């Protein structure tokens, strides 16, 4: 019983994916992240994913580099090599990709190459805990002889 990315996306609020453009300033991106309570924004050039901008990008490439967020364009500090997943992939595959590449956010791209959403490490942990709780309850019922 492993949850798919499509199932995770269906369970998320329908707020959509928050994005910025490469031309936006880092300050604009930070304000959007704060407003929506998120840690990453996809950087879109039209319908194409140009990159991802994360809190980690800000900390390492702006703050620690002595740059100013109002004068720095997202394109200058975003992560361009974006890893993504498909809706049919499962939580185990996502966790492996995140762990292997030290990522906390994965865009979801459908088979036609269109952006379908984004999943975070928090989304995955929530669903994995839910799955484990279900398994524990099933085992307890089996052991005690109670059937649901």
Task: Give residue limits of the domains in the chain.
Answer: 5-144
Beta bridge partners of 106: 119
Closest CA relative to residue 18, chosen from 37, 1, 4, 3: 37
pLDDT grade, residue 101 (50/70/90)?
very high
Mean pLDDT across the stretch 55-65?
Answer: 97
Does the pLDDT of residue 1 top 80, yes or no? no
CA 148 to CA 87: how far, in whole Å? 31
Beta bridge partners of 102: none
List Cβ neighbours of 77 (8 Å cut-off, separation of 6 or more). Answer: 26, 53, 57, 58, 61, 62, 67
CATH hierarchy code of domain 5-144:
3.10.580.10
Predicted confidence (pLDDT) per residue in 66-86, tens digit: 999 999 999 999 999 999 999
pLDDT of residue 67: 97
Number of residues assigned to the chain: 148
∠ CA 109-114-118 to the nearest 5 degrees? 40
pLDDT of residue 139: 86
Q: How many angstroms separate the first and last alpha carbons of the chain?
A: 18
Q: What is the pTM of this model?
A: 0.83
Does the pLDDT of residue 9 top 90, yes or no? yes
Q: What are phi and psi of 52, to 5 degrees?
A: -140, 140
Predicted confidence (pLDDT) per residue in 15-55, tens digit: 789 999 999 999 999 999 999 999 999 999 999 999 999 99
Mean pLDDT across the stretch 91-118?
Answer: 94
């Amino acid at each position: 019983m492993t949850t798919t990315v499509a199932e995770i996306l269906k369970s998320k609020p329908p707020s959509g994916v928050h994005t910025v453009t490469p031309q936006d300033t880092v300050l604009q991106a930070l304000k959007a992240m704060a407003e929506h309570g998120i840690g990453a924004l996809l950087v879109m050039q039209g319908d194409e994913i140009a990159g991802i901008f994360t809190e980690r990008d800000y900390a390492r490439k702006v703050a620690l580099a002595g740059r100013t967020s109002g004068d720095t364009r997202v394109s200058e500090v975003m992560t361009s090599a974006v890893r993504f997943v498909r809706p049919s992939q499962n939580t185990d595959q996502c966790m492996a990709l995140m762990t292997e590449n030290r990522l906390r956010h994965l865009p979801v791209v459908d088979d036609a190459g269109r952006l379908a959403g984004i999943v975070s490490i928090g989304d995955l942990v929530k669903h994995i805990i839910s799955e484990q709780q279900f398994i524990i309850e099933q085992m307890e019922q089996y052991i005690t002889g109670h059937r649901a």
